[in-house]
Amino acid sequence: MVSGSGEPVVSRSAVAAVPGSPAALHPATAPAPGSPVVPSLGTDPVSDLSHPAAASAVSDSPAPCPAAHSPAAHFAAGFAEAAAAAVEAALAARSAGPERVLLDAYLAARTGERPVVAFGGHHRLVDEVASRMLTPEDLDVLERAARRAPDAGRVRVAGRGVELIPVRRGAANVGVVAVLEPAADKPVPTPDRPHPPLLITGERGTGKTTLARELAPDARTVDAAEGELGDAVEELTAGHPLIIRHAERLTPPDTAALNSLLDADPTAPLLATYTPGTPPGPCLQRLLDVLGARTLALPALRERPEGIPELLKTGAPKTPPGHPPLTWSLDALRALERHPWPGNLTELAHVVHTVAHDRRLTGPVRRAELPDAVREGPAHRPLSPMEDAERTAILGALERHGGNKARAAAALGIGRATLYRKLRSYRV
């Protein structure tokens, strides 16, 4: 397809019509099976002849052929050579366009066996395998994750790992190629579990206890928020694994007993969850320092909104027989991703179960069905002078580095995840 300016444009309809190209996003525009692909020949002979189907149409036409040694034959040969040179020159001149660069990167990534998707500008290229694996909602989530991470990295979408490969034209980003993990033919081996003792930290509701129980399924669980540990310390001394919830609520005697136990046996099978908040006292700080040699920090849900669609699938309540599974509209998904989730996974699970229990409608969950706090989004508030100065510094760093968030974060001396979190909080 050629734009009015003569530059090639990779459009959804054009891509869908070329065999071996990305899967059609608009099936109605694809040709019928077995029918020839005929280009729309315009006034630009170079554009017409550069299309493979156009070249085929020219070569297969029953045009009269002049005698081999006639002047017309020499003229035809010279004209063909000139036309071929013009086509090559035009293609070479156009090969550096951003659409062509993105398409070349997409085609190069398809040489392997893994499904491939590419995003750039207003274009989305999806191969046939990826189109079967991902729903339109999954593709939207993947595109947003790709735009938030312009540098190489990995994300998870629809339960699959995705490698993000930036596509550049000189110093400018023209898009991202996403290479998906193939469908697993056999169970993925479980990674080695961390050796205890282990400290799992994170905000409330991030799944610390759930993770601890997955890592030590045979361990006894006690909650320091409910009182003293009792005989649990003795069981730990005897070598029985122990999970302590809310280590920040340990009593001084229990804290001292655990410190003594770990001094005598640094490999005691102890897993503890800890929610940061009030500064710990010296005795508890010593225990945290010992456990901190092996620490797992769980991120808050607001720091990984791209994972919400997958969590909705895995955490949705079972539907009665004969009822379709719970699905979500794009507006509802965007509202869920914008919500700050102070209660993290616990709050998300409560919202999902409440919606599933109360709804009387069919089809995807709409934004109007969400609780008021989630549907309306976080309230606007005036920024403090410190926040306003920070927002100004972030915008200045982004402008100096051409919108490259990784470089802007490095210039500001903060992590990229921190930068993304601040951009969301300041609505940038």
Q: Average pLDDT, whole number, for the chain? A: 75
Nearest-angstrom CA–CA distance, 62 and 77: 17
Amino acid at 114: R
**385-425 CATH fold:** Arc Repressor Mutant, subunit A (1.10.10)
Helix or strand or coil: residue 9? coil
221 Cβ neighbours under 8 A, 6+ residues apart? 209, 212, 213, 242, 243, 245
**pLDDT > 50? residue 4:** no
- pLDDT given at position 68: 45
Amino acid at 204: R
**Domain boundaries, given as residue ranges, for the chain:** 38-60+68-94, 98-180, 198-297, 304-376, 385-425
Please say whether the beta carbons of 344 and 384 come within 8 A. Answer: no
Query: Which residue, 164, 150, 168, 16, is CA-closest to 101?
Result: 168
Please say whether the beta carbons of 370 and 355 come within 8 A. Answer: yes
Q: Which segment of 22-36, 210-224, 235-249, 292-306 scores lowest on mean pLDDT?
A: 22-36
User: 62 falls in which pLDDT band (50, 70, 90)?
Assistant: very low
Helix H segments across 244-384? 252-264, 282-291, 308-315, 330-338, 344-358, 372-376
**pLDDT > 50? residue 166:** yes
Domain spanning 198-297 has what CATH number? 3.40.50.300
Architecture of domain 304-376: Orthogonal Bundle (1.10)
Nearest-angstrom CA–CA distance, 173 and 164: 13
Please say whether the beta carbons of 216 and 243 come within 8 A. Answer: yes
